[in-house]
């Protein structure tokens, strides 16, 4: 007997990741598009507690960095200049939760110099900030797309199962068509007929729409099965005998029964849709620069010098693996409980 | 008997192709732009424009245009690709061959790996082996194909042992037949490995589950009591009994195989259908997009048909029905 999967580690990780995405502006030390052309491809800076003379400091600090005269494009640390970490400092303006204007950041460093804890990119933009802002894009694209496809799938499935007959036959043929096709081909085919150049907001919602409208088939099939059996139950027939309307029966008696199927499907669909957004953005068909979707961050790895010598660009991949794992584990734990 | 099965499945496949073709045609029709837009051809003779429209069948109603398009497509005329400056069918023939080569090598290898790992995990009695198996597969399942391909690319580039893109080396034509084969094989290693690692974990889980189910059956206890050695028991008796659900999996996995292959081909610059589709989309090459989607559906239908035949061959219960 395999022990039931424990639910808490995965759920805690999921909550932490989504909270980080929600608070991206506050947690990120800089704005995602803020450039510094004098700090191109700076490797991650080490946070230190012990200085050059071996003295211990209670406040973490980093050494200032100068371009290395001996290695063009390289940097070296200047042990003479310590930049201390400060909590809750004012910095680049941003909007908390996308609405409230704010300037306060969780942390910052002394001195006017920008510090890159996870390295910087071709334009000297902070990768940590870009991963955090990118989480907001990629994670919420997955959530919204899943909500959309679950809503469509539940509506279609409930209608098909409840009404039966030719409605059911027609809708299920459509479901089979969508389920049979390779999803990535389907996604790209839909994307092919939408404009290539869009503002990031337009692109985000179009993308979410396309992803969501492709994934509705499987939840529809499952919900249909439940609706089919629900409409023959005694209490449904009784309610119908008392003259309840179709809408009332669907909302009051059929839909509540689909809850656990919908939740399980959500745990499967959300990571898949996050990945769909990341993939499209990676291919250059999703949201565009300078908005930092994880797919756009990963696309940097297609440059051979980045792949070989700028290992810190694999960090978004790590975040992506963590999110996928957490959703899979949460879904399994849910299944074990059910 | 088998004729009827093939016929029924082929009919289902044809229906799928028909659905995709309607879908593709409608999408192509929805794309804004008209080659004989009167606004752009201002000052030309309206009668001449009408004549041109009639010549290309653009004055007909939609269903008639669709039928004409289908009849051309069936005869192998998929239109002309403006971005490649070649007929679409010609491009896709080469690309489909390359995709088939890659998937044809990766799929048997993935199954082999999955069978070995799955049977091993299912036949372990201790908890340790199962936990290791569950941990390894759930970790691999959490690594998206994209990340997997990029990681393998890094390993290959850093070790410098393997070519990291394309199908052939630049000096391919000058090589002897044996060296040609070796060159092709070296180029195949990386994309095939990515595909195998992407497919195998899910397959291995199914293998483990269905073998474990058969192992719990009473006939296995009887065989064990009769003193049949473990290896023979597993391979000769348990595996065939677990064969049917696994063979149906071949069919289910064709679609996800094509999706995985698309991404791997793009990241590893393997000249298959995937990069062709991406290039077509970025260049707004409508005919090539529809052609690539149609060809991938064709591959899908063929793969499903093969899977059905496999079930037929493996499961005597279906044959006697």
B210-253 residue pLDDT tens = 898 888 889 998 998 998 888 888 888 888 888 777 877 877 77
pLDDT at A1: 39
Mean pLDDT of B44-52: 77
Alpha helices in chain B (DSSP H): 2-30, 46-55, 62-74, 88-123, 127-142, 145-159, 177-215, 218-225, 230-232, 239-241, 243-267, 273-282, 286-314, 316-320
* Residue B176 burial (10 A CB sphere; 0-12, 13-18, 19+): exposed
Question: How many residues are there in chain B?
Answer: 321
CB B300 within 8 A of CB B226: no
Q: Write the DSSP symbol of residue A70.
A: S
Give contacts of A176 with chain B, Cβ < 8 Å: 16
A37 token code pair: 């052309």
> Strand B86-87 and strand A100-109: pairing?
unpaired
Q: How far is A290 from chain B, CA to nearest CA, in Å?
A: 19
Q: Which of B266, B281, B297 lies nearest to residue A181, judging by beta carbons?
A: B297
The yes-or-no verdict on residue A6 having pLDDT over 80 is no
Number of Cβ within 10 Å of residue B318's Cβ equals 16
CB contact under 8 A, A181 and B256: no
Q: How far is A238 from chain B, CA to nearest CA, in Å?
A: 40
Using an 8 Å CB-CB cutoff, list residues of chain A that contact chain B.
Answer: 2, 176-177, 180-185, 188-193, 196, 275, 278-279, 282-285, 298, 301-302, 304, 307-308, 314, 317, 320-321, 324-325, 328-329, 332
* Residue A87 burial (10 A CB sphere; 0-12, 13-18, 19+): exposed
pLDDT tens digits for range A95-105: 887 778 888 88
Instruction: List for chain A the helix, strand, coil content (%; round to 5).
Output: 60, 15, 25
To the nearest whole number, what is the mean pLDDT of chain A?
Answer: 83
Strand order in the sheet with A75-96: A48-50, A56-67, A75-96, A100-109
Most A CBs within 10 Å: which of B31, B142, B277, as the mutation test of the A interface? Answer: B142
Q: Looking at chain A, which runs of residues are DSSP E strands?
A: 48-50, 56-67, 75-96, 100-109
Nearest chain B alpha carbon to A332: B138
B80 token code pair: 């002309």
CB contact under 8 A, B281 and A180: no
The string of DSSP letters for A273-313 reads: HHHHHHHHHHTTSSS-TTS--HHHHHHGGGSHHHHHH-GGG
Most B CBs within 10 Å: which of A178, A180, A187, A275, as the mutation test of the B interface? Answer: A180
pLDDT at B195: 92
Virtual torsion, Cα A77, A82, A84, A90, nearest 10 deg: -80
CB A84 within 8 A of CB A23: no
Phi, psi of A99 (to 5 degrees): -130, -50
Phi, psi of A80 (to 5 degrees): -75, -20
Q: How far is A20 from chain B, CA to nearest CA, in Å?
A: 20
pLDDT tens digits for range B148-187: 988 888 888 877 777 766 666 666 666 777 777 778 888 8
pLDDT at B196: 93
Give contacts of B292 with chain A, Cβ < 8 Å: 185
pLDDT at A270: 92
CB contact under 8 A, B19 and A2: no
Closest CA to B265 of B96, B52, B51: B96
d(CA A192, CA A194): 6
Lookup result for tokens 């990386």: B190
CB contact under 8 A, B150 and A177: no
Closest CA to A120 of A310, A319, A335, A267: A310
Confidence of residue A2 (pLDDT cuts 50, 70, 90): very low
A325 token code pair: 């794992």
Q: How far is B76 from chain A, CA to nearest CA, in Å?
A: 20
Number of Cβ within 10 Å of residue A166's Cβ equals 8
Mean pLDDT of B70-94: 84
B309 token code pair: 């035949």
CB A256 within 8 A of CB A124: no
Q: Which of A185, A192, A325 lies nearest to residue B262, judging by beta carbons?
A: A185
Give the distance from CA A320 to its chain's centroid.
8
Instruction: Say yes or no: ipTM exceeds 0.90.
Output: no
pLDDT at B190: 87
Buried/exposed code over A118-132 (b: 16+ C-beta within 10 A; e: otherwise): bbbbeebbbbbbbbb
CB contact under 8 A, A196 and B158: no
């Amino acid at each position: 007997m395999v022990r039931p999967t424990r639910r808490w580690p995965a759920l805690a990780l999921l909550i932490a990741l989504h909270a980080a995405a929600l608070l991206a502006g506050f947690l990120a030390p800089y704005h995602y598009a803020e450039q510094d052309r004098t700090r191109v491809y700076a490797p991650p800076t080490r946070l230190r507690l012990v200085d050059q003379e071996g003295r211990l400091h209670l406040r973490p600090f980093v050494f200032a960095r100068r371009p290395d005269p001996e290695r063009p494009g390289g940097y070296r640390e200047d042990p003479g200049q310590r930049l201390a970490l400060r909590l809750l400092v004012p910095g680049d303006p941003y909007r908390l939760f996308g609405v409230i204007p704010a300037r306060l950041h969780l942390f910052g460093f002394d001195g006017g110099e920008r510090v890159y804890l996870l390295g910087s990119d071709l334009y000297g933009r902070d990768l940590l900030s870009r991963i955090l802002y990118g989480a907001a894009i990629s994670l919420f694209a997955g959530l919204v797309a899943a909500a959309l496809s679950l809503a469509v799938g539940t509506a279609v499935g409930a209608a098909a199962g409840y009404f039966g007959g030719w409605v059911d036959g027609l809708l299920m043929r459509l479901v089979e068509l969508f389920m049979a096709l390779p999803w990535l081909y389907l996604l790209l085919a839909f994307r092919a007929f939408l404009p290539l150049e869009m503002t990031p907001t337009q692109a985000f919602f179009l993308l979410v729409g396309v992803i969501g409208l492709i994934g509705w088939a499987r939840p529809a099939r499952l919900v249909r099965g439940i609706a089919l059996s629900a409409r023959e139950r005694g209490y449904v027939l009784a309610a119908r005998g008392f003259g309840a309307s179709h809408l009332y029966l669907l909302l009051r008696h059929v839909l509540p029964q689909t809850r656990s199927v919908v939740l399980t499907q959500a745990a499967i669909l959300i990571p898949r849709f996050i990945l769909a957004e990341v993939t499209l953005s990676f291919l250059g068909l999703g949201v565009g620069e300078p908005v930092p979707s994880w797919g756009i961050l990963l696309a940097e790895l297609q440059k051979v010098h980045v792949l070989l010598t700028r290992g810190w660009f694999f960090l978004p991949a790590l975040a992506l693996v963590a999110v996928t794992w957490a959703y899979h584990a949460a879904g399994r734990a849910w299944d074990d409980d059910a | 008997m088998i004729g009827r099965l093939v016929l029924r499945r082929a009919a289902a496949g044809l229906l799928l192709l028909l659905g995709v073709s309607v879908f593709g045609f409608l999408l192509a029709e929805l794309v804004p732009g008209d080659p004989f837009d009167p606004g752009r051809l201002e000052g030309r003779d309206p009668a001449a424009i009408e004549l041109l429209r009639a010549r290309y069948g653009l004055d007909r109603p939609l269903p008639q245009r669709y039928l004409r398009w289908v009849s051309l497509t069936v005869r192998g005329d998929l239109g002309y690709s403006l971005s490649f400056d070649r007929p679409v069918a010609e491009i896709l023939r080469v690309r489909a061959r390359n995709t088939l080569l890659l998937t044809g090598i990766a799929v048997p290898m993935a199954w082999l790996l999955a069978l070995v790992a799955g049977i091993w995990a299912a036949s372990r009695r201790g908890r340790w082996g199962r936990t290791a198996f569950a941990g390894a597969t759930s970790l691999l399942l959490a690594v998206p194909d994209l990340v997997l391909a990029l990681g393998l690319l890094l390993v290959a580039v850093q070790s410098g042992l393997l070519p990291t893109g394309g199908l052939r080396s630049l000096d391919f034509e000058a090589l002897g037949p044996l060296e040609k084969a070796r060159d092709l094989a070296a180029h195949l290693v990386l994309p095939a490995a990515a595909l195998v690692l992407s497919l195998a974990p899910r397959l291995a889980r199914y293998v483990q589950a269905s073998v474990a189910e058969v192992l719990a059956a009473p006939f296995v206890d009887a065989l064990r009591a009769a003193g049949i050695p473990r290896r023979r028991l597993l391979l000769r008796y348990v595996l065939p009994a677990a064969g049917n659900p696994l063979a149906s999996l071949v069919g289910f996995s064709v679609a996800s195989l094509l999706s995985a292959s698309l991404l791997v081909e793009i990241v590893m610059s393997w000249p298959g259908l995937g990069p062709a589709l991406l290039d077509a989309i970025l260049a707004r090459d409508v005919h090539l997009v529809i052609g690539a989607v149609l060809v991938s559906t064709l591959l899908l239908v063929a793969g499903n048909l093969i899977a059905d035949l496999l079930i037929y061959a493996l499961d005597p219960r279906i044959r006697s029905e």
